[in-house]
Chains A and B, each alone.
Chain A
């Protein structure tokens, strides 16, 4: 069990640029989640996959955000035309169907300058 892996861990980008984060869940975990967390706040739900199907998506996820999980394994979160308000830690988590425990990765920190 190697844990949930997120890359890159840190990203500094200029406003208006596109960024992509990758998440590799724990093997055999068919559920995958993306959350966003800013300093002093709790994680905020973005989206949820079961296998390759995106089953739930936050209204907060604007058209600039898109997430995919093409083969039901790793997932990507893309942010287009980044804004300073997108600066946050993006957390990925995974779980196995039938089990209660959700495992979070270490997060990907985004700074938009």
Chain B
């Protein structure tokens, strides 16, 4: 069983919809939680960075971490076709060093 599990999708939504992306994990040592966006054949781009439990909002994006349930979420409001990409969750136990990634959820936002 992988340390980080992520529903691969694919997920297809109409423009303007609210998107919910989720990951679960098994390693209690994870303290830092990240969401990346990756376009086809490109490197991942950091979207959100959260330490420990709680919510963090940045524009149309909201990240939630529930350490008691070992569950993290990314919400995208007013989704746009340009949001179409693969979204990767990642986690680490320390501020620097190794991050463990999920396998990504592919999102398509249809105009």
Contacts and interface: CB of A to CB of B under 8 A. Distances in A.
Interface of A: 4, 31, 35, 40-45, 48, 50, 55-56, 58, 91, 93, 95, 97, 100-107, 109
Contact of B42 (A42, A55, A107): A107
Contact of B103 (A42, A100, A104): A42
Contact of B101 (A40, A44, A56, A97): A44
A91 B49 contact: no
A4 B42 CA distance: 12
A56 B97 contact: yes
Contacts of A100: 32, 49, 95
B44 to A, nearest CB: 5
Given A40-B8, A44-B101, A106 B96 contact: no
Contacts of B34: 102
B98 A58 contact: yes
Contacts of B6: 42
A48 B44 contact: no
Contact of B96 (A40, A48, A101): A48
A55 B94 CA distance: 13
B43 A107 contact: yes
A43 B103 CA distance: 8
A4 B46 CA distance: 14
Interface string B93-111: 0011111111110000000
B52 to A, nearest CB: 13
A101 B32 CA distance: 12
Contact of B44 (A43, A56, A58, A97): A43
Contacts of B36: 104
A55 B43 CA distance: 23
B88 interface: yes
Contacts of B66: none
B46 A101 contact: yes
B45 interface: yes
A106 B41 CA distance: 8
Interface in B1-50: 4, 6, 8, 32, 34, 36, 41-46, 49
